[in-house]
Amino acid sequence: MPRERHIMGLFRDEDSVVSAINELKQSRYKFIRVNTPFPSHKIMDALKLKKSMVGWFTLCGGILGFIGGFGLAVYASTQWNLIVGGKPVIAWVPFVIVGFEATILCSVFGNVIGLLTQARLPSYRWLRYYDPRCSGEYFGVLAACEIEQEDGLKEFFQKQGADVKVFE
Amino acid sequence: MSENGKKTMAKQKSNKFWVFLILVAIGAATFIFGLNGRHPERAWQAYLINFLLWSAIAQGAVLFSAVMHMTKARWSGPLSGLSESFTAFFPISYILFLLLFLGKAHIFPWLHEDLHGKEVWLNIPFLFTRDCIGLLILYILGFGYLFNAMQLKLDPNQPKSKLRQSIYDAWKRNNRQPDQIRRRMTIWGGLYILAFALVLCLIGFDLIMSMDPHWISTLFGAYHFVKAFYMGLGALIILAAIIRLRQGEASRLNASHFHDIGKLYFAFCLLWADFFYVQLLVIYYGNIPEETHYVIIRTVLAPWNKLAWTVFIVCFIGPFFILLRQGVKTKPVLMLIICSVVIVGLWLEHLLLLAPALSHEATQAIPLSLSDGLISLGFLGLMAFAIGYFLKVFPETIRVKESN
């Protein structure tokens, strides 16, 4: 059983969060995650995350939707081979509508699927280590340490100017 | 900035003005040469295309500032101020429109046609009267908006010139508080937006659609003002890129500004293509010969089909795929190139709409030659001169605080 203690430091402003994250990464404690009540560019930059792959999901969805939409319209027309108002059976001008809408639809689907998979949602792993104040006016920085180092980590957060919450 | 630096920049600026005036002279000379040649209608065709293009660019760019104010947008920052500089072209545009009267015999193909009752609308006195009044209203509203918008930006302790001094005196006489000024900006801006839509619809119908007097498309006017905003945004990006490249950090234009206006530009690329497609679809499905002959000549038959595909690829397909990437939108040099190419493409689009009606003899080749390019350079010189003059007289435009 992992003998780890999880401690969350609750900060009231982004800049102290950024400095806490930077120092935490250089310390011997394990930095896990940050909960923020609103999106923050500074914290995002400090986390130095890899570039997101969600855009590629959207692009693939869009391409598939484009081909699929036109394909559906072409397939449906060729099943009946009707000549409507003198137009060719496969008429690209009106098929653009189906293709366009399908492109948008499938790129949105791709975006949502990308978001869910890349963010690993729904995620219950960290629910245990969550403080409701993080949806209010506090930022929560979660770190883990050995049980023996618990006091050191608590002091670390208090030095940064944060409230401390210790999880079982 | 040091005294030496100021002097070199002033000399650079006056050099620029000479370059612009030389361009204008080249354009005017080519135009007059063309007028006295064998095909004066070609010269007038180039004049009309350029008048429509550059006026739309100026009107669309100023619309950006009005829209940003009406929506209480704050992301635009210095861009709103830059877009107001395009009002300097309004007086030039108005004079150019008045000069169009001189070429009426060569510009309007319906002068001696049997218009089956449309003479009530399409006759020279009525057309010029309503378009003159419309443009006058639009430009007055634009200047009214500018008058109030400038008051929040300019420093009254630096008169610098008689023009500024007279404006300051007018402001002192009115003696208004900032929130009063903002309310006035909202009123003038709202009226400008409304006039933009209505007057550009009118211009689109009168000066482009009427060239083929027996063809109508109801959305054509709106198509023209959407195109105008698309072009205006492109020109604004070009101007912002030039300012950013010349001034660097001091321009207060950063990557996020370019990203945001690049995204708006992308959206209007789609909107312009959409307005074009909507008209095409209706005509395609109705298949009424009265309507389809216009489209068939321009999109299916040689020599115009090549031009039509060029316009479609340059103005829609190209920007669509290029502007999908985030990185492209944040680099001023790339956006400058892309927006310039698109404006050239939209010049060709005007040619595509107007030339089959104006040059009936052109069944083998597209009537496009070096003289058209030189006349366009002249108009470019006029626009650059106007904006350069505005930025010289009101340099605070480039250094604007974030919120309007």
Residue by residue, pLDDT tens for chain B (404 residues) are 445 545 555 555 667 789 999 999 999 999 999 999 888 989 999 999 999 999 999 999 999 999 999 999 989 888 999 999 999 999 999 999 999 999 999 999 999 888 888 999 999 999 999 999 999 999 999 999 999 998 888 776 676 778 888 888 888 888 888 888 999 999 999 999 999 999 999 999 999 999 999 999 999 999 999 999 999 999 999 999 999 998 888 888 888 899 999 999 999 999 999 999 999 999 999 889 999 999 999 999 888 999 999 999 999 999 999 998 888 999 999 999 999 999 999 999 999 999 998 887 656 788 888 999 999 999 999 999 999 999 988 888 776 544 43
Are A34 and A77 part of one and the same domain?
no
Cα B290 to Cα A134, B213, B216, B362, distances in angstroms: 66, 11, 9, 21
Q: Which of A93, A96, A104 would best serve as a mutation to test chain B binding (most B beta carbons within 10 A)?
A: A93
Distance from CA of A25 to the nearest CA of B (A): 29
Are A67 and A112 part of one and the same domain?
yes
How many other β-carbons are positioned within 10 Å of the β-carbon of residue A5? 19
Which token pair is B270?
């789609």
- Torsion angle of the four alpha carbons B98, B102, B106, B107, in this order, in degrees rounded to the nearest 10: 10
Classify B189 as helix, strand or coil.
Answer: helix
Report residue B275: phi and psi, to 5°: -65, -35
| CATH at A19 | 3.30.70.340
Are A65 and A102 part of one and the same domain?
yes
CB A14 within 8 A of CB A35: no
CA–centroid distance for B48 within its chain = 13
Are A43 and A62 part of one and the same domain?
no
Cα A160 to Cα A13, A22, B307, distances in angstroms: 11, 11, 66
Please judge whether B284 and A86 are an interchain contact, meaning their C-beta atoms are less than 8 angstroms apart: no
Distance from CA of B312 to the nearest CA of A (A): 14
pLDDT reported for residue B393: 87
Strand pairing partners for A5? Answer: A145
Cα B133 to Cα A43, B88, B108, distances in angstroms: 56, 19, 19
**CA neighbor of B207 nearest in space, from B139, B331, B110:** B110
Please judge whether B287 and A87 are an interchain contact, meaning their C-beta atoms are less than 8 angstroms apart: yes
Are A63 and A112 part of one and the same domain?
yes
Residue A79 pLDDT more than 60? yes
Residue of B nearest to A58 (CA): B324
pLDDT reported for residue B159: 65
Which token pair is A17?
């969060």
Q: Name, in order, each residue with C-beta under 8 angstroms of A112's C-beta and a sequence gap of 6 or more.
A: none
Are A58 and A107 part of one and the same domain?
yes
Are A65 and A108 part of one and the same domain?
yes
**CA neighbor of A40 nearest in space, from A24, A23, A16, A56:** A16
Asked if residue A133 is part of any domain, the answer here is no
Distance from CA of A93 to the nearest CA of B (A): 7
pLDDT reported for residue B164: 82
Please judge whether B280 and A86 are an interchain contact, meaning their C-beta atoms are less than 8 angstroms apart: no
Instruction: Say how far apart CA B41 and CA A56 lie, in whole Å.
Output: 52
The secondary element (H helix, E strand) that includes residue B391 is helix B370-393
pLDDT reported for residue B362: 59
**Contacts within 8 Å (CB) and 24+ apart, A41-46:** A42/A14, A42/A15, A42/A17, A42/A18, A43/A14, A43/A17, A43/A18, A43/A139, A46/A17, A46/A18, A46/A21, A46/A22
Are A69 and A113 part of one and the same domain?
yes
All residues of chain A having their beta carbon less than 8 Å from the beta carbon of residue B277 are 96
All residues of chain A having their beta carbon less than 8 Å from the beta carbon of residue B287 are 85-87
Asked if residue A145 is part of any domain, the answer here is yes
Please judge whether B285 and A94 are an interchain contact, meaning their C-beta atoms are less than 8 angstroms apart: yes
pLDDT reported for residue B11: 58
Are A41 and A68 part of one and the same domain?
no
pLDDT reported for residue B216: 92
Domain containing residue A16: 4-51+139-167
All residues of chain B having their beta carbon less than 8 Å from the beta carbon of residue A94 are 281, 284-285
**CA neighbor of A154 nearest in space, from A7, A13, A5:** A7
- Which among A59, A85, A96 has CB closest to B277? A96
Which residue is listed with tokens 């070609």? B42
Quickly list DSSP for B270-332: HHHHHHHHHHHHHHHHH--HHHHHHHHHHHTSTTHHHHHHHHHIIIIIHHHHHTTSHHHHH-H
Asked if residue A127 is part of any domain, the answer here is no
Are A66 and A111 part of one and the same domain?
yes
All residues of chain B having their beta carbon less than 8 Å from the beta carbon of residue A86 are 287
Tens-place pLDDT, residues A139-148: 999 998 888 8
Residue of A nearest to B277 (CA): A93
Within 13 Å and on the Cβ side, how many CA atoms surround B315?
Answer: 25
R_g of chain B, CA atoms, integer Å: 21
Is the bond preceding A122 in cis, omega lying within 30 degrees of 0?
yes
Instruction: Say how far apart CA B52 and CA B107 lie, in whole Å.
Output: 13
Please judge whether A97 and B281 are an interchain contact, meaning their C-beta atoms are less than 8 angstroms apart: yes
pLDDT reported for residue B8: 54
Asked if residue A129 is part of any domain, the answer here is no
Residue of A nearest to B280 (CA): A93
Asked if residue A128 is part of any domain, the answer here is no
All residues of chain B having their beta carbon less than 8 Å from the beta carbon of residue A59 are 324
**CA neighbor of B374 nearest in space, from B32, B9, B17:** B32
Are A28 and A81 part of one and the same domain?
no
Instruction: Say how far apart CA B301 and CA B307 lie, in whole Å.
Output: 10
Asked if residue A126 is part of any domain, the answer here is no
Q: Buried b / exposed e across B33-68, counting CB within 10 Å, b at 16+?
A: ebbeeebebbbbbbbbbbbbbbbbbbbbbbbbbbbb
Asked if residue A113 is part of any domain, the answer here is yes
CB B355 within 8 A of CB B367: yes
CB B51 within 8 A of CB B347: no
Which chain B residues touch A if contact means CB-CB below 8 Å? Answer: 277, 280-281, 284-285, 287, 324
Residue of A nearest to B284 (CA): A93
Asked if residue A124 is part of any domain, the answer here is no
Please judge whether B287 and A86 are an interchain contact, meaning their C-beta atoms are less than 8 angstroms apart: yes
Taking CA A152 as the corner, what is the angle to CA A148 and CA A153, rounded to the nearest 5 degrees? 100
Residue A114 pLDDT more than 50? yes
For chain A, the domain total comes to 2
pLDDT reported for residue B397: 78
Are A37 and A62 part of one and the same domain?
no
Please judge whether B285 and A97 are an interchain contact, meaning their C-beta atoms are less than 8 angstroms apart: no
pLDDT reported for residue A2: 60
Please judge whether B281 and A93 are an interchain contact, meaning their C-beta atoms are less than 8 angstroms apart: yes
